[in-house]
Amino acid sequence: MKRTISATVNNSTGVLNRITGLFSRRQFNIESITVGMTENPEISRMTFVVNVDSDRGLDQVIKQLNKQVDVLKVRDISDENIVARELALIRVVATPQTRGEIETLARPFRASIIDVGRESMTLQVTGDHQKVEAFIDLIKPYGLKELARTGTTALKRSSKKQSQDLHYSFIQ
Amino acid sequence: MVENQRDEGGTEMGTSVRTQAEKTANEQQTQKLNGSQIVLRALAEENVDIIFGYPGGAILPTYDEIYKMGIHHILARHEQGAIHAAEGYARVSGKPGVCVVTSGPGATNVVTGIADAMIDSLPMIVITGQVATNVIGTDAFQEADVVGVTMPITKHNIQLRDVNDIPRVMKEAFHIATTGRPGPVLIDLPKDVSTAIGEFKYPKQVHMPGYQPTVQPNRLQIKKVAAAVERAKKPVILAGAGVLHADGADELFEYATKQQIPVTNTLLGLGSFPGNHPQFLGMAGMHGLYAANMALHECDLLINVGARFDDRLTGSLNYFAPEAEVVHIDVDPAEIGKNVETAIPVVGDAKEALKSLSALDKAPVPYDEWHQHLRHYSDDYPLWYNDDGKTIKPQALLDMVYEETKGEAIVTTDVGQHQMWAAQYYRFANPHRWVTSGGLGTMGFGFPAAIGAQFAEPNRDVIAVIGDAGFQMTMQEMSILQELNLPVKIVIVNNASLGMVRQWQELFYEERYSHSLFPIQPDFLKLAEAYNIKAYKIEDPSEARATFQKGLKEDGPVLFDFRVTADENCYPMIAPGKGHHEMEGIRP
């Protein structure tokens, strides 16, 4: 099952290495990981999407992360009310004839054209995983030249409406 | 004019004296020192009285300060010896073991010991030299990414970049190593940082929001445990090394005897409960006692205090404690539910948890039937071996070592048959007398660990029970015994093979002894002679006791080369994939 985990960590050297190393040696599969500074430059937020096969596996991920001295707080936010976004940059074959079509497709996805060349154009799309996926699918037939995607980054919504209890049995 | 001059002179002198006094007063607070001095001052602040190590290029500035300051330092002959000695010291003293080595090969040579300390939760401070910051990353001479290498096998590690960080980092390192679940902390010290000038002001407190171990157990959970004990008909306590790390042997004794619950130990938990007590079932696990394993198999309540349900303890998880409601008390929340599903988790220090349990003042339920049932296992399936009187049986040897030292000695071992026999036959009655490489199973551990143990307890007999193979991995440390006339007694259980490997090849690989036999052995007596250490070779079982008695009385180090029955197997045993109830070799 796919879970989204959000962690705040000390913005210190090697912290990303420390955490990805922890995942790999415990055989947890990271689907995506994003890292960036928070409002406090000494603290970074990491968002992982992991694929775990059981609740116990998930429990271990969270607990092992929590054991790291540089990790300040870890939460499985999959079942919470969250805003989650990915970003993709797509360079697609675009002739003067197809440019208009592509632009029309981009509009409902609120994708923006950020670069136009003689034979291609580059689009930027942000949104949740499905939306980005759907847009790439749609644009693929024109001929993908290059594609770059970020992982998911996420925050809890400000208005709290928690649907169910936390999914793991973390005790501390 | 003259008077004025004199006045000025006087004033000057006065000023100079005052400044000197002020300086002395300020010295306690801040002082300009170089990085190496700061490191050593921090060690002094942490009451470190002994360092195990080996010098080299990148750590030379620190060694120069060790020389100038005259710090108690033990020079090993290989870095592996230094770190295992520090481990032995930590295990017996309960204080963090400190190991200082150089960069590159010096650091990589301690990797085994760091991993060993990590898996057995020993408090350790490892200081590695590192090349200067301006050449880090250039594959400089003796450069290795030690922080990267040791990240998975340390509780925490850090590379110093700024001399002014040293006091804080040192304070935090000791705090991390010794609190919560203990573990090794590595500090990588680049050469230029160790020579840079900085201020020494040792912090009184640490501030680490990401590291807040839970010591006090949750009261509600403790009450749940007590209620489970009241419900239970067949409870058993499994006590691990966590009890020893928390210094909770007395609390365990009080609780277990008050509630009259039978107790078993993990390999590393031996000594946390008296090995000769009627409530004690013996060690559990792969080579544990039948009674202990059957107690785990049949119990309806399993109270695990400070053990991590290692696979060598549990056997196949498919058959582990099938009827038990599991209570798991551990200071490391990640251990709870890792291997075995837990009904009542208690996060906290073992000592505090046992204290809270005893304080609940529940009337003891006698469990008479259960005790009787287990006694039948103990009586009918004791440890056994066939004594032919012609060769020294390793089991008889360990039993003899126990008797002759009255169970009072500190015993260290490597991994393998001799380790299991020591665990079975040396009925540890006291905590911190058993030093063994449990989780990592490190050959070459036992002998240097004995050296560290002897420094921790100079007046106690320290017996290094070592296989002939493991001894050959770190035997160069006999130099330390020679140099300091350290009274460590080396008992080589010499079966001219990798005993446990040979046993497995016999049982599971159709007797294909692939590179596990040593047809030619070094002459250990001559080797000992080269190090000026007294040595005995004993082949005749009738001479074993008298020779051991004689050697024990010697003041300095003694090496005993006991030639034991070569093809003896260690029983009883749980074969791989089997459960506690499927032990083999429970009867002759």
Q: Identify the CATH number of the domain in which residue A101 sits.
A: 3.30.70.1150
Q: Write out pLDDT tens, residues A9-29.
A: 999 888 999 999 998 888 888
Chain B partners of A70 at a C-beta cutoff of 8 Å? 210
Structural domain of residue A90, as residue ranges? Answer: 83-156
DSSP string, A70-132: TEEEEEE-TTS-EEEEEEEEEEEE--TTTHHHHHHHHGGGT-EEEEE-SSEEEEEEEE-HHHH
- Which domains can be identified in chain B, with CATH numbers? 17-200 (3.40.50.970), 219-381 (3.40.50.1220), 394-570 (3.40.50.970)
Chain B partners of A10 at a C-beta cutoff of 8 Å? 210
- In a shared domain, residues A61 and A111: no
- In a shared domain, residues A16 and A72: yes
Pairing mode, strands B280-283 and B301-305: unpaired
Chain B partners of A25 at a C-beta cutoff of 8 Å? 152
- In a shared domain, residues A106 and A68: no
* Residue contact A69–B148, C-beta within 8 A: no
CA dihedral B484, B485, B488, B490 (to 10 degrees): 110
A137 located within any domain: yes
Per the structure block, which two tokens stand in for B266?
């993990």
* Cβ count within 10 A of residue B539: 13
Please state, in angstroms and rounded to a whole number, the distance separating the CA atoms of residues B142 and B161. 18
Please state, in angstroms and rounded to a whole number, the distance separating the CA atoms of residues B319 and B515. 34
pLDDT at res. B148:
95
pLDDT at res. B339:
95
Nearest CB partner across the interface for B333, out of A9, A68, A170: A170
- In a shared domain, residues A58 and A93: no
Distance from CA of B460 to the nearest CA of A (A): 37
Please state, in angstroms and rounded to a whole number, the distance separating the CA atoms of residues B496 and B507. 18
As for how many domains chain A has, the answer is 2
A167 located within any domain: no
- In a shared domain, residues A92 and A49: no
Residues 6+ apart with CB under 8 A from A80: A156, A162, A163
A133 located within any domain: yes
Residue with tokens 């009451």: B47
Per the structure block, which two tokens stand in for B146?
């030690």
Question: Which of residues A76, A106, A141 is at a domain's end?
Answer: A76
CA distances for B528 relative to B7, B449, B452, B541, B560, angstroms: 72, 18, 19, 22, 10
The domain that holds A34 is classified in CATH as 3.30.70.260
Q: B265 with B312: CB under 8 angstroms? A: no
* Distance between first and last Cα of chain B: 107
A136 located within any domain: yes
Please state, in angstroms and rounded to a whole number, the distance separating the CA atoms of residues B173 and B171. 5
Q: Is B500 a catalytic residue?
A: yes
A170 located within any domain: no
Largest CA distance in chain B: 107
- In a shared domain, residues A95 and A133: yes
- In a shared domain, residues A72 and A134: no
Per the structure block, which two tokens stand in for B251?
């609390």
SS3 B246: coil
- In a shared domain, residues A10 and A70: yes
Q: What is the mean pLDDT of chain B?
A: 94
DSSP string, B369-424: HHHHHHHHHHHHS-------SSSB-HHHHHHHHHHHTTT-SEEEE-SSHHHHHHHH
Pairing mode, strands B235-239 and B263-265: parallel
Please state, in angstroms and rounded to a whole number, the distance separating the CA atoms of residues B46 and B60. 22
Please state, in angstroms and rounded to a whole number, the distance separating the CA atoms of residues B47 and A139. 68
Q: Write out pLDDT tens, residues B376-432.
A: 999 999 999 999 899 999 999 999 999 999 999 999 999 999 999 999 999 999 999
Q: B516 with B507: CB under 8 angstroms? A: no
CA nearest neighbour of B345 among B353, B354, B355, B337: B337
Question: Which of residues A25, A57, A76 is at a domain's end?
Answer: A76
Interface of A with B (CB under 8 A): 9-10, 13-14, 17-18, 21-22, 25, 56, 59-60, 63-64, 66-72, 169-172
Half-sphere exposure of B461 (CA within 13 A, CB side): 21
- In a shared domain, residues A54 and A105: no
Distance from CA of B419 to the nearest CA of A (A): 29
Q: Write out pLDDT tens, residues B1-12.
A: 344 444 443 444
* Residue contact B345–A169, C-beta within 8 A: yes
Question: Which of residues A76, A91, A108 is at a domain's end?
Answer: A76
Q: Is B550 a catalytic residue?
A: no
* Residue contact B334–A66, C-beta within 8 A: yes
- In a shared domain, residues A12 and A59: yes
What ipTM was predicted for this assembly?
Answer: 0.85
pLDDT at res. B581:
96
A164 located within any domain: no
Nearest CB partner across the interface for A69, out of B161, B176, B345: B176
Catalytic member of B170, B400, B478, B500:
B500
Low-confidence ranges of chain B (pLDDT < 50): 1-19, 21, 23, 25-26
How many residues are recorded in chain A? 172
Q: Is B3 exposed, middle or buried (0-12, 13-18, 19+ CB in 10 A)?
A: exposed
Q: Write out pLDDT tens, residues A119-133.
A: 999 999 999 999 999
CA nearest neighbour of B531 among B550, B557, B549: B557
Chain A partners of B121 at a C-beta cutoff of 8 Å? none
CA nearest neighbour of B521 among B563, B479, B491, B549: B563
In order along chain A (172 residues), what is the average pLDDT of each group of 10 residues? 94 90 88 93 94 88 93 93 94 94 95 95 95 95 95 85 50 43
**What value does the CA radius of gyration of chain A take, rounded to a whole number of Å?**
19
Distance from CA of A4 to the nearest CA of B (A): 19
pLDDT at res. B88:
98
Q: How far is CA B137 from the centre of its chain?
A: 34
Q: Is the pTM of this model over 0.95?
A: no
Q: Is B79 a catalytic residue?
A: yes
SS3 B69: helix
Q: B150: which strand partners?
A: none
pLDDT at res. B8:
41
Please give the DSSP secondary-structure letter assigned to residue B240: -
Per the structure block, which two tokens stand in for B360?
């609940």
Nearest CB partner across the interface for B337, out of A17, A70, A169: A169
Residue with tokens 């949740």: A128
Chain A partners of B208 at a C-beta cutoff of 8 Å? 69
Please state, in angstroms and rounded to a whole number, the distance separating the CA atoms of residues A88 and A108. 16
Catalytic member of B31, B45, B95, B142:
B142
- In a shared domain, residues A21 and A60: yes
- In a shared domain, residues A110 and A90: yes
CA dihedral B174, B32, B75, B187 (to 10 degrees): 40
DSSP string, B317-381: GGGSSTTPEEEEEES-GGGTTTSS--SEEEES-HHHHHHHHHHT-PPPP--HHHHHHHHHHHHHS
Please state, in angstroms and rounded to a whole number, the distance separating the CA atoms of residues B83 and B53. 7
A127 located within any domain: yes
Per the structure block, which two tokens stand in for B520?
């030619």
Q: Give the residue from B158, B220, B327 with the most A CB atoms within 10 Å of its CB, the best one to mutate.
A: B158
Nearest CB partner across the interface for A64, out of B159, B218, B334: B334
* Residue contact B345–A171, C-beta within 8 A: yes
* Residue contact B210–A70, C-beta within 8 A: yes
3-state helix, strand, coil in chain A (%, to 5): 30, 40, 30
Please state, in angstroms and rounded to a whole number, the distance separating the CA atoms of residues B396 and B346. 41
Nearest CB partner across the interface for A67, out of B161, B334, B345: B334
Per the structure block, which two tokens stand in for B181?
């679940």
* Cβ count within 10 A of residue A52: 19
pLDDT at res. A161:
55
Please state, in angstroms and rounded to a whole number, the distance separating the CA atoms of residues B54 and B61. 13
Pairing mode, strands A43-51 and A2-10: antiparallel
A101 located within any domain: yes
DSSP string, B177-188: HHSSS--EEEEE
